[in-house]
Structure 1
Amino acid sequence: MTSPHAFQMRSRPRRTRRSEALRAMVRETTLGTGDLIWPIFVREGENIEEPVESMPGVLRYSVDRAVAAAEGAAALGIPAICIFPYTDPSLKTPACEEAWNPGNIANRAIRAIKAAVPDLAIMTDIALDPYNSNGHDGIVRDGRVVNDETVVALVRMALAQAEAGADILGPSDMMDGRIGAIRDALEAGGWQDVAIMSYSAKYASAYYGPFRDAVGAAGALKGDKKTYQMDPGNSDEAMRMIARDLEEGADMVMVKPGQPYLDVCHRVKSEFGVPTFAYQVSGEYAMIEAAARNGWIDGEKVMLESLAAFKRAGCDGVLTYFAPRVARLLSA
């Protein structure tokens, strides 16, 4: 007998949800290993894997162990890593000279990893905070972070990283004019093929705390970074920063932090159509991991769901400390 309500039920969206095979066929957003960039921390020493207390599961690696970690990432199909240095406090100065030392810990790590895993893309960080006795991303004069003098230092840092073998430079400092200055210096120095992924929309966020512990900048920081990083309330300004950095020669752009700014990620991809990335920053990672370790959430499911959100918002890839774990899950 025909149900009196049958005419109302010709559309049944649940039909395509009833099995994993059907759900996979109609899934609009997918997450793959190729979407991942793994940030790693490097430090002096040998055979060291040192836990970062505020980021459970994340380690600082000596260069030899960083090479092994990079080999493992490549074997999992992760296409890129991003290197961040933990600098010995004795090397930090107000002028940040260690930032462009060809033999600093970051540049040694670049060379060693590139020699061992040449096909793995190596991204770097360009900002002065790991080398600055003031803890700021720029040079401080009379209590102010000075822009143009900082840009000169950032260019020197960029050239040292390019010479070491970096594939992608990641200026994260948010100084005005630094992308154009770095691009001009790369072109003039014969490093035309080195790409720039600009932290174009980097917000003055409270989500960075564990990262500052990881690179040893937390205790040194005096004041805050609100005079150069963006106000969390601004979205139109982010579009202006994206447009500026693209005009100055950025190849890819980034929004940082990630999940609290998915609306910005979506606007960037919709309005510019350029390679767009987000950084699932240390605070985002730490909240998920801490809740999972306390049994409050299913860590694996939340990890995957959080990363799918970036892809759904329009991101082409994500920097995430979860990268190796995600890659293992995706390949299982």
Structure 2
Amino acid sequence: MNIEMIRAAAARLDGHARRTPLLSSPFLDEIAGRRVWVKAECLQHTGSFKFRGAWSAVSALSEAERGRGVIAFSSGNHAQGVALAARAHGAAAVIIMPRDAPAVKIDNTRALGAEVVLYDRAAGEDRDAIGAEMVAARGLTLIKPYDEPQVIAGQGTTGLEIAAQAAAVGVTQADVIVCCGGGGFSSGIALALEAEAPGLRVRTAEPEDFDDVARSLQAGTVQRNARLSGSLCDAIVTPEPGVLTFPILKRLAGPGFAVSEEEALRAVALAFNRLKVVAEPGGAVALAAAIFHGAQIEGDDVIVTISGGNIDADVFAKVLALPATAPRTQGNAA
């Protein structure tokens, strides 16, 4: 992985991916006790940053590879990104998804033309084994959700935009908190910032009990989660950091955050009420870290990603019914 791969991915994405805005709100600033800048990738095509990596990977394939079709496994956001990118390139797509993924993500993936194969992750079914069988049987090209160079390169284009947008508002020193599963998004952004904005430092945000990246960064070695399901932050629940992504984060990232499910849900509500954007719980953990874990952040500015906005309507309705008062945790300024 290198910055030239990210710049090449940006060239292929030009005219296809949205340049998402860097948003702010004085209300969020007051709660957090510093200026909060929000990179709203929930406004990206398919509702998440995953479209960037999917387009980067599919567009880098040969015509023969695209002709045989692609396969991916995902709880929903990578699924939709690959489905849309494949359709735009005239390639068939097979997506392996967990049965407990949000219904909106399964339905949208099918609506984008992909063949969806469901598996039971809670019962221990192995998506990698299912995928390997289908690759062997049908000659499909696997596009991994994070441990794939072209996917990381595509996600890294978000970092190029953050560097330019932060400079435009005069921010040159700040933590950049990134919602993190396997680390493709955070490692790609870290590489881009290393080259374009070295004063900006990536820090990962994950849900409690699924904070394998934060624990791995602290230990210096890969740590695995004890369980693989059971969180509303489904989009970023992964077994352990990626083989490609962890060395990048170990070299470039600061300490990670682990936020509670309640904090993530309240961040979803704050994003809607104060920024007028829709975030899913896993896509709001970075905002939750900035709002509710301010004692772990230094400086007058913090940049966060809202990485996805694909939330089921019933969950969103429950979030909006939460009391308006935010919990006082971890030294936040609320």
Shared fold, TM over 0.5: no
* TM-score, L = length of structure 2: 0.35
Q: Which gives a bigger RCO, structure 1 or 2 (Cα 8 Å, sep 6+)?
A: 2
User: Based on CA coordinates, which of the two structures has the bigger radius of gyration?
Assistant: 1
